[in-house]
Structure 1
Amino acid sequence: MGVNVTWYSHACLLIEADGTRLLVDPFLAGNPLAPISADAVEADYIFVSHGHGDHVGDTVAIAKRTGATVVSNFEIVNWLAAQGVEKGHPQHIGGGFDYSWGRVKLTIAHHGSGLPDGSYGGNPCGFLFSIQGKNIYHACDTGLFYDMKLIGEAGIDLAVLPIGDNFTMGPDDALRAVQLIEPRQVLPIHYDTFEIIEQDPATWKKRVEEATSARVVLLHPGERLEL
């Protein structure tokens, strides 16, 4: 069985490998594009990139219902524990950990991380997943930074990049990110959820494929890609 990636809109992904389900930034309730409800989604692990409400999302409710282990920075894991989440694994930027199903390293992300109640959310991050010989880089919410070139040296099979602008990289900087990372495939995310981040992904796909060797995969919310 391969590694499957389902996009639930915004920055929310479900990565499945050998029966293990990894859910990233589960913003479903209140998300106008979400194709699945927080009551229906399943997860063995939940990854939270930073403290903003559209990324912490439904983590507490899903973790309590499923018993999933939540992976995030130390501050967010502690905050979630105070909300009643029983299983948490803290990491920090630059640190990796070998799980039974693969390895995850936290990467730099240039963004904010204040939690919904105003608590300190530590540093925002991205995730570099290494699963069954495949490397998936989920940049999460970030601006462009040159160290993406170093992340790319791992050999990235799929780069998941925001293109929405205003709060994250826009189309121009996301194209530059592809040029730095040199991934085999790219999945654009974090667009069209709200009017302020509406974009034209088809035009972006054309620009990227003309300027790089990467293949851009456009998914509708709920669609799946097999690596």
Structure 2
Amino acid sequence: MVTLRTIPFDERLAGKLAKGPGDGVSLHWLGQAGFVIDAHGRRIVIDPYLSDSLAVKYRDTAFSHQRMASAPLTADQLGPVDLVFCTHHHTDHMDGETLNLLASRLPRLNFVVPAASHELAQQRIGVDAGRLIEVDAGDRKRIGNLELHVMRAAHETVERDDNGRHRFLGYGLGFGNVRIFHSGDTISFDGQDKEIKAFAPDLALLPVNGRSEILRTSGFAGNMTLAEAIALCDRCGIGAMIAHHYGMFAFNTITPDEIDNAAEQAPVTLHRARYGIEFRLDDA
């Protein structure tokens, strides 16, 4: 049985990560949908947005992308990284400024990206195709000690490119007996439960910022609400969930109190992604 513990720490995240990955499986939040996962001596980073590139892009517009809180560290402070995942092409998930710095610092680092976005990934990351591991929904791969299951996501729809490849992905990450599901940006959709149940995750990392017609018509696709994310875990038999994709941009978030209050009544173990916390998965 896999259990989830929260371990507070006082030191800066950069200093903690500089020590390198240890034994076992642990996670640290980078903000938005970004996580560092240390698993059995290897470090994986998912959807790191550690720059202010969106604040520059949307400066003086109706939807300011100024950060509500500073990034917990810089791309150069992520320490040793073995693999990077991007769930889709939106900049807060595939940030050129962050990824290019990582690629330059770590010339042997590979990047798992949607095959539908391979050209954009090459351009933003600044690497040749040989450093990209292109995947699509339905793929199953073994990358070192990682078991990878690639699933569909619907950001608010299930979209494919002209070659039928999915633009939005979720990742099932298996580390021995510990299984983590990062949904990417998504709402619930037909067939999603079946895909998730087939992977049987112990922990789900799910967005909870919701969606609105105003944002949709302005070009900003939404995600599950907190209630929908909890219900998804309950239906799929996932015992623990970390709620994320909040607290980054003021126009597209929910409050921490909403998550904390929901945790008291949730049918699953619900945690709010927070800085200064190591989320530790123990395989009893």
Return the TM-score normalized by structure 1.
0.87
Equivalent of 2:278, from 193, 201, 224?
224
Distance in 2, matches of 1:122 and 1:155, equals: 22
In structure 2, the partner of 1:116 is: none
Distance in 1, matches of 2:86 and 2:243, equals: 18
Distance in 1, matches of 2:204 and 2:190, equals: 15
Greater mean alpha carbon deviation, residues 50-59 or residues 34-43: 34-43
Give the CA RMSD over aligned residues: 2.2
What does 1:151-162 align with in structure 2 at a 5 Å threshold?
151-162=196-207
- Give 5+ residue unaligned stretches, structure 2: 1-22, 53-66, 158-164, 212-221
- Give 5+ residue unaligned stretches, structure 1: 114-120
In structure 1, the partner of 2:250 is: 195
- Which structure is richer in relative contact order (CA contacts within 8 A, separation 6 or more)? 2
Contact 2:242–2:270, Cα closer than 8 Å, also in 1: yes
In structure 2, the partner of 1:76 is: 117
Equivalent of 2:100, from 60, 65, 73?
60
Look up the equivalent residue of 1:218 and give its one-letter code: R
Superimposed CA distance per residue, residues 10-66 of structure 1 (whole angstroms, 9 cap, x where no aligned partner): 000111112211100110112544201122123211101110111101222212222
How many residue pairs match? The answer is 219
In the alignment, structure 1 residue 182 sits paired with structure 2 residue 220: no
Contact 2:233–2:239, Cα closer than 8 Å, also in 1: no
Distance in 2, matches of 1:130 and 1:65, equals: 27
Compute the displacement of 1:105 (Å). Answer: 1.4
In the alignment, structure 1 residue 215 sits paired with structure 2 residue 269: yes
Return the TM-score normalized by structure 2.
0.71
Distance in 1, matches of 2:104 and 2:262, equals: 43
Compute the displacement of 1:146 (Å). Answer: 4.2
In the alignment, structure 1 residue 34 sits paired with structure 2 residue 71: yes
- 3-state secondary structure, aligned to 1:196: coil
Contact 1:76–1:122, Cα closer than 8 Å, also in 2: no
Contact 1:112–1:124, Cα closer than 8 Å, also in 2: no
Equivalent of 2:170, from 111, 114, 126?
126
Distance in 2, matches of 1:202 and 1:126, equals: 27
Greater mean alpha carbon deviation, residues 40-49 or residues 79-88: 79-88
In structure 2, the partner of 1:22 is: 44
Compute the displacement of 1:92 (Å). Answer: 0.5
State the identity as a percent: 23
Distance in 1, matches of 2:190 and 2:152, equals: 11
Contact 1:148–1:177, Cα closer than 8 Å, also in 2: no
Contact 2:44–2:82, Cα closer than 8 Å, also in 1: yes
- 3-state secondary structure, aligned to 1:77: helix
Distance in 1, matches of 2:181 and 2:91, equals: 22
- 3-state secondary structure, aligned to 1:136: strand
Compute the displacement of 1:207 (Å). Answer: 3.1
Distance in 2, matches of 1:219 and 1:95, equals: 28
